[in-house]
Amino acid sequence: MIFRKAPSVKDTATIRKILKFLERAYGRPPDLKRSPPVGELIRTILSQNTSDLNSLRAFAVLKKNFRSWDALAAARAGKIERLIRRAGLSRIKAGRIKGVLNEIRRREGRIDLSFLRDLSIEEALAYLRSLKGVGPKTAACVLLFSFGKPVMPVDTHIFRVARRLGIIGKGMAIEEAHKFLSGRVPKDLIYEFHLGIIEHGRRICKAKSPLCGGCAVYGMCGFPDKKLFLKKGRMR
């Protein structure tokens, strides 16, 4: 993955302004507490296509039932599937979890990803993406939340809100958005941007019925239907 050139002064000023408004609305995001990378990888796989609540509960069940990643890797897929059922797509995710753990051990001799800290962002992303079932968002989450590397994980909330705010173009695909936003958002703001935009997407800038009347960045938004939502009284 090759990131685009550094953001211009105008880009940086706009992004800082957006984050200033979001901080006033939702408060400052908590400081980054780095998580063990293998755990972050498994937790993020569980979070695919489900809510954080469901994925975190499933992850807690796995931690309770297996004392080590080796024990989890050696478990029968059916057992893992039953334990993570609340996370949804449990058969697929159980297979992915077993697969990535065993593949890491095959390559490295043990289930450990700490070596990613010393790789370049491009090398680390390439390694993680080479694991079956690991997409750009999952790989970016591991690098950001485990190592503090300036990589932007793009979920549906970030993709939607960034498009409405005009930060990314309407024709851009979500995979390209990972590369684009990682290069467009200043490195020191990536963590804050990620959490702030997700919070805004969950609370206000919803996919079908955005609450434009309560939007902290309404004046900066180019969403074409926002006036229609206000006129119909559907917003607060």
The two structure tokens encoding residue 86: 């609340």
Confidence (pLDDT) at 49: 85
Q: At 232, is the pLDDT very low, low, confident or very high (cuts 50, 70, 90)? A: very low
Reply yes or no on whether the pLDDT at 107 is more than 50. yes
Residues 107 and 81 in one domain: yes
| Residue 52 DSSP label | H
Give residue for tokens 């990620």. Answer: 194
Confidence (pLDDT) at 22: 96
Q: At 20, is the pLDDT very low, low, confident or very high (cuts 50, 70, 90)? A: very high
Confidence (pLDDT) at 234: 45
pTM, 2 dp: 0.87
Residues 130 and 194 in one domain: no
Reply yes or no on whether the pLDDT at 159 is more than 80. yes
CA dist 45 → 6, 18, 42, 49 (Å): 30, 30, 5, 9
The two structure tokens encoding residue 175: 């995979």
Q: In the predicted model, what is the mean pLDDT of residues 46-65? A: 92
Q: In the predicted model, what is the mean pLDDT of residues 5-9? A: 51
Confidence (pLDDT) at 141: 97
Q: Within a domain: residue 204?
A: yes
Residues marked as catalytic: 137
Q: At 8, is the pLDDT very low, low, confident or very high (cuts 50, 70, 90)? A: low
Question: 95, 114, 147 — which closes off a domain?
Answer: 147
Mean pLDDT of all residues belonging to the chain:
90
Percent of the chain with pLDDT over 70: 90
Question: 90, 121, 147 — which closes off a domain?
Answer: 147
Q: At 169, is the pLDDT very low, low, confident or very high (cuts 50, 70, 90)? A: confident
Rg (CA), the chain: 19
CA dist 131 → 2, 223, 230 (Å): 19, 37, 45
Residues 138 and 169 in one domain: no
Q: At 170, is the pLDDT very low, low, confident or very high (cuts 50, 70, 90)? A: confident
Q: In the predicted model, what is the mean pLDDT of residues 120-144? A: 96
* Region label for 71, one of left (φ > 0), alpha (ψ between -120 and 50) or beta (otherwise): alpha
Q: Within a domain: residue 3?
A: no
Reply yes or no on whether the pLDDT at 206 is more than 70. yes
Confidence (pLDDT) at 230: 52
CATH of residue 58's domain is 1.10.340.30
CATH of residue 211's domain is 1.10.1670.10
The two structure tokens encoding residue 170: 């309407």
Q: In the predicted model, what is the mean pLDDT of residues 38-58? A: 93
Reply yes or no on whether the pLDDT at 2 is more than 70. no
Count structural domains, the chain.
2
Which among 126, 94, 92, 131 is positioned nearest to 111, based on CA atoms? Answer: 131
SS3 (DSSP) at 204 = coil
Burial class (CB in 10 A: 0-12, 13-18, 19+), 172: middle
